[in-house]
Structure 1
Amino acid sequence: MPAVLAAAALLLAAGCSAGGEGPASGAGRTTATGTAPGTAPSGRATASSPPAKGSVKVLRTVARNLKTPWGLAALPGGGLLVSSRDDGTIVRIDAGTGRTTELGTVSGVSPAGEGGLLGIALSPGFASDHMIYAYFTSASDNRIVRMLYDERKPAGEQLGAPDTVFKGIPKGFIHNGGRIAFGPDGMLYAGTGESGERGLAQDRRSLGGKILRLTPEGEPAPGNPFPGSPVYSYGHRNVQGLAWDGRQRLFASEFGQDTWDELNAIKPGGDYGWPKAEGRSSDPAFQNPLAQWHTDDASPSGIAYVNGVIWMAALKGERLWRVPLDGTRAAAPPQAFLTGRYGRLRTVVAAGGDKLWLVTSNTDGRGRPGKGDDRVLEVEVR
């Protein structure tokens, strides 16, 4: 990156709050494209790499007037489940009509700051067991539960009592992590934060500042890099997005502090540097990000993989980033879309083919809600 851009980025960083989740800015700006400063060198793209430049088209607004939406899970055969961080509820959205129905309230959720009802995921056996997994902040910790979903019951009563699968993840007013997803191997992955206590990220005995890999029952998954431990990778500040490519390689987005946000290719047992390193480092002990952004441009949340590209939602950056991949490297500089058009973007989920579900985050206390916020968008991407 040219020195003048680096200097400007550092000057902007001085005004950022820790975690990069500052108030929304620039609402109403026109769509913009651009590249991220400090992108890791990618080498020459292979013939199978996606195009360096892409496109984004918003097809429609699926649902409006959601309150603090956080996680999204797509139901087999249609329908979307969306969690509300502050209300502790899960709603079902008819993807055709946008009609919302409340399933119920997840008991035990204790929202405060960045904590509350966060990520949700469907059981790998959802077609037969009808189980929904959820990551939430309780009065004592962050934990993962599973609940039976019975759509035959009346609205508001369709969620069974939470069964705690895993607990003891450090909680805080900030940096609670919260993204969960089942991987191609059928294991449950969870991104956690260091809850504002930096030292936890490097402590492999702690569950804070980690990516965890668990069985669906909440036990350390077979083949984990540290025997008997749920820890899959460490040295993270606040993991917010998880996605796998077509070769079952894991990628994760992560909040930096004041300088660099990160998109990482995850290596089992890898140390991602926090708090000793933020962004790229010359220390060979740490895994370097495949792309990094100034916190004003990103503050990344969810990510999704579609046709060789990682799509990353940005909160403070109020944009959708496109990162084409060449293996576990960036094949070209990241490209930004929707800058300022919809405010803060929280969650992005592959919707099949060349489409994404995109969730905004303007009613979370840090955005500036517009008429109809928050919403779920259907987006076509290339």
Structure 2
Amino acid sequence: MTPKRRASTLALIAALAVASCSSPVPPAASPSASQTVSAENAEDSNRVQRYGLTDDGGQLRLSEPETILEGIPAAGNHNGGRIAFGPDGKLHVGTGDAGQRELSQDLDSLAGKILRLNPDGSRPADNPFDGSFVYSYGHRNVQGLAWTADGTMYASEFGASTFDELNRIEPGGNYGWPEAEGDSGGAFLDPVAQWATSEASPSGIAIRGEDVFIANLRGRSIRRVNLTDPGKQQLYLAEENTRFRDVAVSPTGEIWVLTNNTDGRGDPGPDDDRLLRLDVDD
């Protein structure tokens, strides 16, 4: 891919590996993965592609890509790009408004949404809007997706200049953008938690037990929010004074976090970027 314009989020946005696209509940990553799925940003639209992944004598190789979803509006930023398989085995794709805020409320547009599709790119019959990939709408720029053990989905989202959000996602839900940013007083589905944009810029999220861990870019910390009592929050690694892009729960329950200082917006040190292990109590 050779983009014709400079853009801060132009190129490969996200990727994940799965054991098989026919697996009922694909894992987020697997050393024996036979498929990878990626979200990519091209000049005029974003797309989701699937690759075969093979082990060639200890060297992993990708097949030619198969595009399974295209036509997602693109821009220099606000591209979303988080992709994740839910416990239902469906692929979920978070998209941004591509700088055209009115698209978030337009159910005919794939921008400003959380999309839900089968691993082969077809539309699930039980999506909330007939014949549509749209699962929820009214989003500005979805950054993180994660699920609790009972299958409840949560998403982190960049605000504009007022509030960043953590949302509990409901099928067919309208989260208010651009009519609302943060708590709308019940006019739309309101966030579980919100923060001033200078304190957060929440990126990837991961859930362990009753807590969600949020990687903060501008907030330069890992935030822990109790989902039973969202007012109960803790900050970790603020002393690192570094931007955090993603967080994951390891197979043994450890919290892994990824810094992000080499994307043109941070101040990279000699060891950046880094994968860190965070020690937290239950």
Return the TM-score normalized by structure 2.
0.91
- Greater mean deviation of Cα atoms: 357-366 or 238-247: 357-366
Aligned partners of 2:192 and 2:230 also within 8 Å: no
Report the alpha carbon displacement of residue 130 of structure 1 after superposing the two structures with TM: 0.3
Report the alpha carbon displacement of residue 118 of structure 1 after superposing the two structures with TM: 1.5
Report the alpha carbon displacement of residue 129 of structure 1 after superposing the two structures with TM: 6.7
Percent identity, aligned pairs only? 46
Report the alpha carbon displacement of residue 381 of structure 1 after superposing the two structures with TM: 2.6
Partner of 1:322: 224
Give CA deviations for 1:45-90 in whole Å, capped at 9, x if unaligned: xxxxxxxxxxxxxxxxxxxxxxxxxxxxxxxxxxxxxxxxxxxxxx
C-alpha distance 109-207 of structure 1, shift in aligned 2 (>3 A): farther
Partner of 1:83: none
Structure 1's unaligned 5+ residue stretches are 1-107
Give CA deviations for 1:257-277 in whole Å, capped at 9, x if unaligned: 001000000011000000000
Report the alpha carbon displacement of residue 150 of structure 1 after superposing the two structures with TM: 1.7
1:178 partnered with 2:77: no
Aligned partners of 2:20 and 2:34 also within 8 Å: yes
Q: Which amino acid aligns with 1:337?
A: Y
1:286 partnered with 2:181: no
Give CA deviations for 1:312-353 in whole Å, capped at 9, x if unaligned: 000111110000111xxx343322111150511001111123
- Greater mean deviation of Cα atoms: 256-265 or 138-147: 138-147
Aligned partners of 1:272 and 1:286 also within 8 Å: yes
Greater percentage in strand: 2
C-alpha distance 175-202 of structure 1, shift in aligned 2 (>3 A): same
- Greater mean deviation of Cα atoms: 126-135 or 196-205: 126-135
1:142 partnered with 2:37: no
Structure exhibiting the larger radius of gyration computed from Cα positions: 1
Return the TM-score normalized by structure 1.
0.68
Q: Which amino acid aligns with 2:216?
A: A
C-alpha distance 260-249 of structure 1, shift in aligned 2 (>3 A): same
Aligned partners of 2:159 and 2:197 also within 8 Å: yes
1:307 partnered with 2:209: yes
Aligned partners of 2:19 and 2:34 also within 8 Å: no
The CA distance in 2 between the partners of 1:336 and 1:221, in whole Å, is 38
Q: Which amino acid aligns with 1:294?
A: A
The CA distance in 1 between the partners of 2:140 and 2:239, in whole Å, is 26
Structure 2's unaligned 5+ residue stretches are 22-29
SS in 1 for 2:214: strand
Aligned partners of 2:258 and 2:276 also within 8 Å: yes
Matches within 5 A, 1:1-382: 108=1, 110=3, 112-123=7-18, 125=20, 130-152=34-56, 155=59, 158-282=61-185, 284-326=186-228, 330-341=229-240, 343-382=242-281
Report the alpha carbon displacement of residue 379 of structure 1 after superposing the two structures with TM: 2.2
Partner of 1:68: none
Report the alpha carbon displacement of residue 358 of structure 1 after superposing the two structures with TM: 1.1
Q: CA RMSD in A?
A: 1.8
Post-superposition, which runs of at least 4 consecutive aligned residues in structure 1 deviate over 6 A? 126-129
Pairs aligned (count): 270
Q: Which amino acid aligns with 1:151?
A: D
SS in 1 for 2:199: coil
